[in-house]
Structure 1
Amino acid sequence: MRKRAALALLTAVTGLAGLAVPGAYADETVGDIQISGVAVNGGKNIVVDTADKTVTVSVTATDPSGIWDADFYLWQGPDGTDPYYSADGYILPNENTTPADCVASSSTTSTCSKTFTFEPDWWLTNADAGTWKVGVQVSANDDSWAERWTYTTTRLQRHSKLTANAGPEPIAKGKTLTVTGKLTRANWDTLDYRGYANQPVKLQFRKAGSTTYTTIKTVNASSTGNLTTTAPASEDGYWRWNFAGTSTTPPVNAAGDFVDVQ
């Protein structure tokens, strides 16, 4: 088990961030407290390169007595799994203080936030990429509280890069153009970028003066992430590669490479 996950699980068993919420129960509500929304990284996927990445998780909740505290945990495991004791992976926020950073929008409603830092140079591994469940606990000033094991999910992804080079330049109209490139993504095990093998990548063209790219063909990246294909040169314009992304890797476009057709 990863260092961070081991620490998180130990902390969870003894009580998350000081909240007096029993770990043996799921999706419970005591009192009138209501959770109206949880946001992870502003609603965007968490994309990490080879450096540390910190994101914010927040919850908005309401109780007649006002909101006092909130806490969060990210975890992996099948439905029905107890995240406290049998999760496959478990991550706690950076802040272990009580109460959390809560901003009141009224006497009854607050939005509380904490941060999570993903550290490739310490605990993050390639195997961690994918979908994580987001658990949340909220407590009110009158000791009402609520817990949701899986209020929402978030996707943790390995940052991707894509290059494109078209030539020769300039080229005579009707001649064959060669377009190369490479699809790579962050490797959290080695702290560098490695080719993303056998992925379908689209070759696209945008004629000079236009703002729209058109897909010409789809090419599979090699075992090292390399891309190469040919196309007829018909008019001036930009050539690029387009990768649609996967569950573990975000979509990416190469910068368009201009070719002068004479």
Structure 2
Amino acid sequence: MPTRITAAVCGALTLTALAVPAAHADDDGTRGAYRAPGLGRAAEAEAPYDLDVTFSAVKVAKAVKVGPTGHHSTTVTYKLTHGADVDITAEDFLTGPYLYRGAYGSPDNTLFGNKPATCTATSATTAKCTGKIDVYPAQGDLLNSEAGTWKGAALAIAYNGQDPDGDDFDITKVGYADQGALATTKVQRASKLTVNASPEPVRKGRTLTITGKLSRANWETRKYAGYATQPVKLQFRKAGTSTYTDVRNVTTTSKGELKTTVKASADGHYRFTFAGTGTTPAVNAKGDFVDVR
């Protein structure tokens, strides 16, 4: 019996055109409750057989930066190895990657793709597959607390002519393979950083006030919000040069705001730069040019 029937119940939907996505919240309030007709129903009593398929060489981006709304997607490639009796060219053979957070056997959350992966045979029993992970934060795909490290996995389903919606659907004739801990990535709350230097222009030796704000996606309110008490560096690039140099460290307020002062010395650009954290990517503000007279 497959080690994770739950993945078939929760993930098979995104790999097949035979099913229609349920709402992102069940009646009991749980999120990401995808259901594959027949597969989930029959799994209560019986199970698909172990499909002779394994996965390896999974490659995914080091980080998936997700804003507060919209559609966010990342590509995953992997090697699929199968038995000689598995027909990966069949119309009802489906495979795809997914990400999960927490324990493989009982994940806190999973993220799948909208469509099955596409595979190209590289030998009689191997194929190179390419799929996507699709994320819709405004539809409840993520909680803020879920930012951080996720693991990569892949699954495959061979329906073998079985119709999940048919009255004579026999799940024991469906093959299923699921494998976790194949890669790691970070699912991060997208960040923004602004800067403004004033007054402009300014006389040499006068005081410049540099302000800005560091914010990151809040997946629950669907907006950007200030990132509190974070270390940020103020940098300066003299006109005619291409390199920024550090000026001083500044810490964001409880609202993510930044403020500091410097003495105007020469024409150039000021910017704030944030090194990032495990939950939030690094970001640079677009430099603000100051004309010193």
Alpha-carbon displacement from aligned partner over 1:205-262 (angstroms, at most 9, x marks no partner): 0001111000111100011111000112111110000011111111111010111112
Does 2:205 align with 1:200?
no
- The Cα of 1:6 is off from its aligned counterpart by 3.2
The 8 Å contact of residues 96 and 131 in structure 2, kept in 1 or not, is answered as yes
Residue equivalent to 2:32: 5
Does 2:198 align with 1:167?
yes
How much identity, in percent, do the aligned residues show?
45
- Count of matched residue pairs: 239
Unaligned runs of 5+ residues in structure 1 are 23-28
Aligned-partner Cα distance in 2 for 1:213–1:13? 60
Aligned-partner Cα distance in 1 for 2:181–2:247? 42
The 8 Å contact of residues 67 and 110 in structure 1, kept in 2 or not, is answered as no
Does 2:132 align with 1:115?
yes
* Change over 3 Å in CA distance of 1:178–1:67 after alignment to 2: farther
Which moves more between the two structures, 181-190 or 64-73? 64-73
Residue equivalent to 1:25: none
SS at match of 1:5: coil
Aligned-partner Cα distance in 1 for 2:35–2:145? 18
SS at match of 1:127: helix
The 8 Å contact of residues 61 and 109 in structure 1, kept in 2 or not, is answered as yes
SS at match of 1:210: coil
Residue equivalent to 2:289: 258
The 8 Å contact of residues 166 and 257 in structure 1, kept in 2 or not, is answered as yes
* Change over 3 Å in CA distance of 1:208–1:249 after alignment to 2: same
Residue equivalent to 1:52: 71
Alpha-carbon displacement from aligned partner over 1:26-53 (angstroms, at most 9, x marks no partner): xxx96xx76441122xx24111112121
Aligned-partner Cα distance in 2 for 1:224–1:187? 13
TM-score, with normalisation over the residues of structure 1?
A: 0.78
* Change over 3 Å in CA distance of 1:146–1:189 after alignment to 2: closer
Does 2:141 align with 1:101?
no
- Residue 224 of structure 1 aligns with an amino acid whose one-letter code is K
- The Cα of 1:174 is off from its aligned counterpart by 1.9
34, 38, 51: which one aligns with 2:58: 38
Aligned-partner Cα distance in 1 for 2:40–2:99? 11
The 8 Å contact of residues 54 and 179 in structure 2, kept in 1 or not, is answered as no
209, 212, 217: which one aligns with 1:178: 209
56, 63, 76: which one aligns with 2:101: 76
Aligned-partner Cα distance in 2 for 1:130–1:9? 29
The 8 Å contact of residues 9 and 90 in structure 1, kept in 2 or not, is answered as no
Aligned-partner Cα distance in 2 for 1:126–1:51? 16
- Residue 221 of structure 1 aligns with an amino acid whose one-letter code is T
TM-score, with normalisation over the residues of structure 2?
A: 0.70
- Residue 32 of structure 2 aligns with an amino acid whose one-letter code is A
Does 2:143 align with 1:125?
yes
SS at match of 2:139: coil
Aligned-partner Cα distance in 1 for 2:225–2:291? 32
Does 2:167 align with 1:136?
no
Which moves more between the two structures, 192-201 or 66-75? 66-75
Which residues of 2 match residues 78-93 of structure 1 at below 5 A?
A: 81-83=103-105, 86-93=106-113
The 8 Å contact of residues 46 and 155 in structure 1, kept in 2 or not, is answered as yes
Aligned-partner Cα distance in 2 for 1:212–1:189? 38
Aligned-partner Cα distance in 1 for 2:112–2:40? 8
Aligned-partner Cα distance in 1 for 2:49–2:153? 13
SS at match of 2:278: coil
Alpha-carbon displacement from aligned partner over 1:81-110 (angstroms, at most 9, x marks no partner): 442xx2222333323x6xx42123444432
Aligned-partner Cα distance in 1 for 2:96–2:188? 23
